[in-house]
Structure 1
Amino acid sequence: MDAFSRYSPSIRQYIYQNGWNQLRAIQAAAGDAIFNTDENVLLSASTASGKTEAAFFPIITFMQEDPPTSIGCLYIAPLKALINDQFIRLNDICEESGIPVWHWHGDVSQSRKKKMMKDPSGILQITPESLEAMLLHRHSQIPHLFGDLRFVVIDEIHSFLRGDRGGQALCLIERLSRLAGVNPRRIGLSATIGDTQIVGEYLSAGSGRGTVIPRIQSGGMEWRLSMQHFFTNGAQANEKSAKENKGIDAPESPTDIAPKNADPGIGYIFEHTRGHKCFVFSNSREECEVVTATLRQYCDVKHERDRFLIHHGNLSVSYRESAEDVMKQDDSLVTVCTTSTLELGIDIGRLERAFQIDAPFTVSSFLQRMGRTGRRNAPSEMWFVIREDHAEARALLPETIPWKLLQGIALIQLYLEERWVEPPRTGRLPYSLLYHQTMSTLASGGEMTPAELASRVLSLNYFGNITADDFRVLLHHLISTDHLQQTENGGLILGLAGERIVNNFKFYAVFQENEEYSVRWDSEELGTIVKPPPLNDKIAIAGRVWVVEEVDHNSHVVYCHPVKGIVPAYFGDEPGDIHTKILERMHLLLQQDQIYPYLLKNAVARLTQARDIAARSFLDKKPLIPLGGKMYCLFPWLGSYAFLALERFLRIKCGPVLGLKGFDSKRPYYIQFTMNVSERDFYRVMEEEINKDIDPMTLLYPKEVAVFDKYDDILPEDLTRKGFAMGVLDVKEMKQRVIGWLDNT
Structure 2
Amino acid sequence: MGPTAAVRVDPAHRRAERGRAERGLGRRHRAADVSVPPSALDPVVLHHIVNDLGWRDLRPLQRDAIGPIVAGEDVLLLAPTAGGKTEAAAFPLLSRMSSERWSGTSVLYVCPLKALLNNLEPRLRRYTGWVGRGVALWHGDVSTSARRSVLWQRPDILLTTPESLESMLVSVNVDHRLFFAGLRTVVVDEVHAFAGDDRGWHLLAVLERLTHVVGRPVQRIGLSATVGNPAQLLTWLQGSGAGVRPAQVVAPEMSAPAASAPAAQSAEIELDYVGSLSNAATVIATLHQGEKRLVFCESRQTVEELGLLLRQRDVTVFLSHASLSVDERRRAEQAFAEARNCVIVSTSTLELGIDVGDLDRVIQIDTPATVSSFMQRLGRTGRRPGAARNTLFLCRSADTLAAAAGLLLLWSRSWVEPVLAPPEPRHIVAQQLLAVCLQEHRVGDRLWPRCWNGLEPFGPAAEPIARHLIEHGYLDRDGGMLFIGPAAEQRFGRRHFMELTAVFTGSPEFTVLHGRAELGRVDPSLLTEQVHGDRRLLLSGRSWRVTYIDWRRRRCFVEPADGGGRARWPNRGWAGLGLELTRAIREVLLGADPPVKLTRRAVDRLVARREELSELVHPGGNVILRDKDGDLHWWTWAGFRTNATLTATLSDVVDPASRFDDFSIRLREDLMPSQWRELTTDAGQRLCLPEVSDKAVSGLKFSAALPKRLAVATLAARSADIKGAGTVLTEPTRFVNLRG
Normalising by structure 2, we get a TM-score of 0.86
> What residue number does 1:97 align with?
131
Cα distance, 1:559–1:620 mapped onto 2, change above 3 Å: farther
CA contact (8 A) 1:349 1:375 kept: no
Does residue 1:528 correspond to 2:521, yes or no? yes
CA contact (8 A) 1:279 1:337 kept: yes
Gaps of 5+ in 2: 1-34
CA contact (8 A) 2:201 2:421 kept: no
Does residue 1:67 correspond to 2:61, yes or no? no
Q: Secondary structure in 1 aligned to 2:447?
A: helix
CA distance in 1, matches of 2:694, 2:87: 54
Q: Secondary structure in 2 aligned to 1:654?
A: coil
CA distance in 2, matches of 1:648, 1:151: 46
Does residue 1:28 correspond to 2:63, yes or no? yes
CA distance in 2, matches of 1:594, 1:313: 35
CA distance in 2, matches of 1:461, 1:97: 36
Q: How does 1:25-174 map to 2 (within 5 A)?
A: 25-35=60-70, 37-137=71-171, 141-174=175-208
Does residue 1:413 correspond to 2:422, yes or no? no
Q: How does 1:97-496 map to 2 (within 5 A)?
A: 97-137=131-171, 141-207=175-241, 208-217=244-253, 218=256, 219=258, 222-232=266-276, 263-272=278-287, 274-299=289-314, 306-329=315-338, 331-377=339-385, 378-388=387-397, 402-417=398-413, 419-426=414-421, 428-456=423-451, 459=453, 461-463=455-457, 468=461, 471-487=462-478, 491-496=482-487
CA distance in 2, matches of 1:317, 1:75: 21
CA contact (8 A) 1:357 1:384 kept: yes
Q: Percent identity?
A: 27
Cα distance, 1:231–1:140 mapped onto 2, change above 3 Å: closer
CA distance in 2, matches of 1:480, 1:422: 41
Q: Secondary structure in 2 aligned to 1:213?
A: strand
Q: Secondary structure in 1 aligned to 2:730?
A: helix
Q: Secondary structure in 2 aligned to 1:740?
A: coil
Q: CA deviation at 1:553?
A: 1.8
Deviations 1:248-291 (A, max 9, x none): xxxxxxxxxxxxxx831222122225322111111111221122
Deviations 1:269-314 (A, max 9, x none): 2222532211111111122112212222233xxxxxx511111111
Q: How does 1:720-731 map to 2 (within 5 A)?
A: 720-731=711-722
- Residue of 644, 666, 669 corresponding to 2:663: 669
Q: CA deviation at 1:562?
A: 2.1
Q: Secondary structure in 1 aligned to 2:512?
A: strand
Query: Which deviates the most, 69-78 or 568-577?
Result: 568-577
CA distance in 1, matches of 2:584, 2:460: 38
CA contact (8 A) 2:103 2:182 kept: yes
Q: CA deviation at 1:673?
A: 4.7
Q: CA deviation at 1:743?
A: 11
CA contact (8 A) 1:484 1:498 kept: no
Q: CA deviation at 1:14?
A: 1.6
Q: CA deviation at 1:649?
A: 2.7
Deviations 1:454-498 (A, max 9, x none): 5535x552516x863xx4443344345443334476644232444
CA distance in 2, matches of 1:691, 1:364: 30
Cα distance, 1:512–1:456 mapped onto 2, change above 3 Å: same
Q: CA deviation at 1:714?
A: 4.3
Q: Which amino acid aligns with 1:230?
A: V
Count of aligned pairs between the two proteins: 681
Q: CA deviation at 1:19?
A: 1.9
Q: Which amino acid aligns with 2:61?
A: I
Deviations 1:382-422 (A, max 9, x none): 1111102xxxxxxxxxxxxx3322221222222221x2222
Q: Which amino acid aligns with 1:291?
A: L
> What residue number does 1:392 align with?
none
CA distance in 1, matches of 2:734, 2:286: 52
CA distance in 1, matches of 2:596, 2:735: 34
Cα distance, 1:602–1:637 mapped onto 2, change above 3 Å: same
Q: Secondary structure in 1 aligned to 2:287?
A: helix
Cα distance, 1:424–1:707 mapped onto 2, change above 3 Å: farther
CA contact (8 A) 1:630 1:674 kept: no
CA distance in 1, matches of 2:383, 2:516: 38
Cα distance, 1:744–1:68 mapped onto 2, change above 3 Å: farther
> What residue number does 1:583 align with?
582
CA contact (8 A) 2:190 2:225 kept: yes
CA contact (8 A) 1:355 1:382 kept: yes
- Residue of 723, 736, 745 corresponding to 2:727: 736
CA distance in 2, matches of 1:474, 1:555: 35
CA contact (8 A) 1:354 1:381 kept: yes
Q: CA deviation at 1:152?
A: 0.9
Cα distance, 1:706–1:107 mapped onto 2, change above 3 Å: closer
> What residue number does 1:556 align with?
554
Deviations 1:562-606 (A, max 9, x none): 213354422232224432211122222222344633211111112
Q: CA deviation at 1:369?
A: 1.0
Deviations 1:1-25 (A, max 9, x none): 9754221122112222222111111
Q: Secondary structure in 1 aligned to 2:136?
A: strand
Q: CA deviation at 1:365?
A: 0.9
Query: Which deviates the most, 629-638 or 95-104?
Result: 629-638
CA contact (8 A) 2:117 2:160 kept: yes
Kindly report the root-mean-square deviation, in angstroms, between the aligned alpha carbons of the 2 structures: 2.7
Deviations 1:624-658 (A, max 9, x none): 222125312222222332222123334x3434xxx
Does residue 1:633 correspond to 2:628, yes or no? no
Q: Which amino acid aligns with 1:737?
A: V
Cα distance, 1:355–1:529 mapped onto 2, change above 3 Å: same
Q: Secondary structure in 1 aligned to 2:252?
A: coil
Gaps of 5+ in 1: 233-261, 300-305, 389-401
Q: Secondary structure in 2 aligned to 1:549?
A: strand
CA distance in 2, matches of 1:566, 1:382: 32
CA distance in 2, matches of 1:8, 1:155: 23
CA distance in 1, matches of 2:145, 2:400: 49
CA distance in 2, matches of 1:139, 1:743: 67
Deviations 1:411-448 (A, max 9, x none): 2222221x222212246010121121111111111123
CA contact (8 A) 1:687 1:742 kept: no
Deviations 1:340-383 (A, max 9, x none): 11111012221111111111111111111111122222221211
Q: CA deviation at 1:170?
A: 1.1
CA distance in 1, matches of 2:351, 2:269: 17
CA distance in 2, matches of 1:545, 1:134: 40
Q: Secondary structure in 2 aligned to 1:228?
A: strand
Cα distance, 1:506–1:354 mapped onto 2, change above 3 Å: farther
Q: CA deviation at 1:704?
A: 8.0
Deviations 1:513-532 (A, max 9, x none): 11122110112110112315
Query: Which deviates the most, 618-627 or 56-65?
Result: 618-627
CA contact (8 A) 1:683 1:742 kept: no
CA contact (8 A) 2:44 2:130 kept: yes
Does residue 1:514 correspond to 2:514, yes or no? no
Q: CA deviation at 1:705?
A: 6.1
CA distance in 2, matches of 1:370, 1:702: 38
Normalising by structure 1, we get a TM-score of 0.86
CA contact (8 A) 1:530 1:572 kept: yes
Deviations 1:126-147 (A, max 9, x none): 0111111111115862222222
Q: Secondary structure in 2 aligned to 1:263?
A: helix
